[in-house]
Structure 1
Amino acid sequence: MKKLAKWRLFSLLALMALILSGCGKPYLSTLQPAGEVAQRQYDLMQLSTIIMVGVIAVVTIIFLIVVFRFKRKDEQIPKQVEGSHKLEIIWTVIPILLLLVLAVPTVIETFRLADVSAMDEVNEDGKTDALVINVRANLYWWEFEYPNEEIVTSQELVVPTDQRVYFNLKASDVKHSFWIPSVGGKMDTNTDNINKFWLKFDSKGAEKANELFYGKCAELCGPSHALMDFKVRAVPSDEFDQWVASMQGIEEPIQPETALAQEGQDLFNQSCIGCHAITPNNASPEAARVAPNLTDFGDRAYVAGILENNEENIKKWLADPETLKPGNKMSKTYGELTPEQIDALTAYLMELKVQK
């Protein structure tokens, strides 16, 4: 009975694992591809899984046939088949064919997905027709620069759907890895070289994800590695163009509308401005930035990439960033704020919106 109970428990756990393996959200799951790259990688994964499961099934069937059909019943020695050229050819050729079935599409897709030649094609204006974004990974935040559009933002990547977006990836401090699970596989960001790749965000997939995908750091980089998140707003091309125009229209810091926000701006200019920029054209492509650009902070969905953007969470972050994201640089560079200062800064940050 005890053995039966253990088998029942094992069966239940196996069933739960099978069911949970199919769970996932459209904004985060690799099993719900929302882009051309993700779909191709998913197709390769399906192909390899089918082949592996097929091999396991065939071997298992052969094993069971041998165990039951050729079970020794007497002292008679069965016919020996060692040295059979036919069998040796069969079990040599079949694995080779299976490897070719796996290798050929994998190599083809590897070279196809690595094609970033469009990033080098420059037009008469000295810019690329392709949308290029420079990604810089930092402990523990992300910066996104659009060189053709001459704007910089942080923590929330904005991209158009149904067109290829090319990325230059680099790290400021230690190795990180740029990954948007639903849209494409990860790629490392290094301090000594620039990695390049492209992604395409599917409009139907973006609709299922409410136009907001989750991005992750996929390389262990420090105590807050698991919290080094960013968000991706995938919007139709016309909305993306509107966002770009809105960002380009911000030449001076956004002026506060309330007295409390004005107090926050004064406080921000006394200390925070030393690390944070509040205009989208704050630096050149090769300059390392100290802290996230906050130009459109009020438009973003999340605070620090991990908290829903609302007044309560902004105050939590300003009051104690070290508890929420251990090891972040902000904790080491600013002093303790009073409740009044936190209220003023929060009011100011919430008014930093480029899209009214």
Structure 2
Amino acid sequence: MQWAETMGGGVSSHPGNEGRGRGRAVVAVLLGGWIGSGPVYAQGPVPSILEPIAQPAQAVLDYGLVLVLVCGVIFVLVMGALLVTVIRFRVRAGDDDHEPAQVYGSDQLEIAWTVAPVLVVIVLGLITAGRIVALQKNEAPAGSLAIRVTGHQWWWELEYPEFGFTTANELHLPVDRVAFLELQSQDVIHSFWLPQLAGKTDLIPNRRNTMWIEPHQVGMVVGQCAEYCGTQHANMLLRVFIHEEAEFERWARGQQKEARMLPGTEAGRAIFANTACVNCHTVRGVSEIGRFGPDLTHLMSRTTLAAGAARNDRGQLIDWITNPDHFKPGARMPAMKLDSAQVAQVADYLSSLE
């Protein structure tokens, strides 16, 4: 409450200002929540469904605009008729109290205001059904890129079967090519949402859902889990990088390679390989038994740590290894209780995984 009073300029105890004080406190709390979410969203643009750069998001927006247009026309007609009636037939000075003739039972009017809405509903229903059929592809089209997405608390596992590697939290797609995504969950229900690329699709344990994306513009967009999935739901972000085909192929070939060890990182690699790190994380060429946490083979090719909760640099990496709860309270990764020298050595090794 003290923080809320500071933000709101103080909450007066005067009886006449109680409502105003409560209002300021509410605004302060809401503003605090918005500011508190800033560090997560500050690392990327805020996504908008009104700025699609792919199908089916573009088709959904186009359909939404059709609905807005139809509803807008109906609104203008109804409100226009109401306005004309109110103005034209208003009570004027000098009018007597004579009640005007009551008109009812007009077959023409009743037919008109029954048929017109039915026709509108039928047309919109047909358009809706056509869009649903067009957008719901249950089988991968020829030439599409297959990707298997698995939701975990609280990160995304991304497998590219065509290329034989797995990465995490950053999805890479070629422009002007359909990507067919198979969605599944390892624990609880998640929802895969990329506002500028496609609508939401749930990830449900023991069930396979699918969706497709065909991006038409190179760039980076942000997505997130859209179904509450636990403590760090808000920090379960996803970045999508859309490349030209040749650039995507280069990225994929780089991801296929095993991890290389740079001189001076031997100590960090030994600590990583001889502690519980390898029980959760895979580094191809070192250990491939870890499946509980993200694949770290090319960790430094990613822009963020912990599914978007922190920048991916050596300093943040040291902080993450030392105390994961600092970035994501409740994160499944334990603090390994390494001393500062060991943490620095592990960070040096992980920083070499490009």
Tell me, yes or no, if the aligned pair for 1:28 and 1:213 is still in contact at 8 Å: yes
Residue number in structure 1 paired with 2:55:
36
Counterpart of 1:328 in structure 2: which amino acid?
A: A
CA distance in 1, matches of 2:126, 2:271: 60
Tell me, yes or no, if the aligned pair for 1:152 and 1:282 is still in contact at 8 Å: no
Of the structure 1 ranges 42-51 and 135-144, higher mean CA displacement relative to structure 2 is found in 42-51
Kindly indicate whether residue 245 of structure 2 is the aligned counterpart of residue 255 of structure 1.
no
The 3-state SS of whatever aligns with 1:170 is: strand
Kindly indicate whether residue 130 of structure 2 is the aligned counterpart of residue 108 of structure 1.
yes
CA distance in 2, matches of 1:112, 1:196: 14
Deviations 1:25-66 (A, max 9, x none): 877221111002111011011111122222222222222222
Tell me, yes or no, if the aligned pair for 2:282 and 2:290 is still in contact at 8 Å: no
Pairing partner for 1:89 from 92, 107, 111: 111
Residue number in structure 2 paired with 1:14:
none
CA distance in 1, matches of 2:268, 2:71: 60
Pairing partner for 1:65 from 76, 84, 87: 84
Shift of 1:160: 0.8
Higher RCO (C-alpha 8 Å, min separation 6): 1
The 3-state SS of whatever aligns with 2:56 is: helix
Counterpart of 1:163 in structure 2: which amino acid?
A: R
Residue number in structure 1 paired with 2:228:
220
Q: TM-score, length-normalised on structure 2?
A: 0.80
Tell me, yes or no, if the aligned pair for 2:189 and 2:205 is still in contact at 8 Å: yes
Kindly indicate whether residue 296 of structure 2 is the aligned counterpart of residue 274 of structure 1.
no
Tell me, yes or no, if the aligned pair for 1:140 and 1:228 is still in contact at 8 Å: yes
Residue number in structure 1 paired with 2:120:
98
Runs of 4+ aligned structure 1 residues displaced above 4 Å come to: 280-283
Residue number in structure 2 paired with 1:265:
269
Pairing partner for 1:151 from 159, 165, 171: 165
CA distance in 1, matches of 2:311, 2:205: 30
CA distance in 2, matches of 1:133, 1:74: 77
Tell me, yes or no, if the aligned pair for 2:47 and 2:221 is still in contact at 8 Å: yes
Tell me, yes or no, if the aligned pair for 1:227 and 1:325 is still in contact at 8 Å: yes
Number of residues of Structure 1 aligned to a counterpart in Structure 2: 306
- Gap runs ≥5 in structure 2: 1-43
CA distance in 2, matches of 1:265, 1:234: 32
Pairing partner for 2:189 from 155, 165, 175: 175
Shift of 1:174: 0.3
Residue number in structure 1 paired with 2:305:
303
CA distance in 1, matches of 2:345, 2:104: 85
Shift of 1:304: 1.3
Shift of 1:288: 10
Shift of 1:89: 1.5
Change (3 A) 1:159 1:107: same
Counterpart of 2:303 in structure 1: which amino acid?
A: A
Change (3 A) 1:86 1:269: same
Pair member with larger Rg: 2
The 3-state SS of whatever aligns with 1:330 is: coil
Q: TM-score, length-normalised on structure 1?
A: 0.80
CA distance in 1, matches of 2:246, 2:59: 27
- Correspondence 1:296-335 to 2 at 5 A: 296-306=298-308, 307-331=310-334, 334-335=335-336
Change (3 A) 1:53 1:312: farther
Q: How many percent of aligned residue pairs carry the same amino acid?
A: 31
